[in-house]
Amino acid sequence: MTQSVLQIVLRHAEKAGAKRVTQIDLTIGDFSSIVDDSVQFYFDILSQDTIAESAQLVFHRVPGELRCWDCQATFAPDGRSYVCPGCGSVRVQVVAGREFRVDSIEVE
């Protein structure tokens, strides 16, 4: 995943004629199972000797959100249960929180 982020960043930065990437804004959903520290760790290693070396990664978290198939209520899970608070159904789908994307890149 981190390699893909770096490839996206380098492709867009080089297309813009950037000499250096200074900041990368990432959006990560709480259900994505992606750990900020792991992304940072691998990015620091993979970006060595590229124009993205030493770029600051800024993580924006998107909370998980579910929708009930039965009553259509939308709710945030409490971390222990995914039961709909409106009707008690367990038939739910994820509507937010699986994101993992590069939102913006700052360059020199």
Whether residue 91 is contained in a domain is answered as: no
Whether residue 77 is contained in a domain is answered as: no
Whether residue 30 is contained in a domain is answered as: yes
| Band of pLDDT at residue 97, cut at 50, 70 and 90 | very high
Whether residue 71 is contained in a domain is answered as: no
pLDDT of amino acid 29: 96
Whether residue 88 is contained in a domain is answered as: no
CATH of the domain at 11: 3.30.2320.50
pLDDT of amino acid 10: 98
For 71-96, b/e burial (b = at least 16 CB within 10 A) is eeeebebeeeebbbeeeeeeebeeeb
Total domains, the chain? 1
Whether residue 90 is contained in a domain is answered as: no
Q: Is the pLDDT of residue 27 over 90?
A: yes
**Rounded to two decimals, what is the model's pTM?**
0.86
Domain of residue 40, residue span: 2-64+96-107
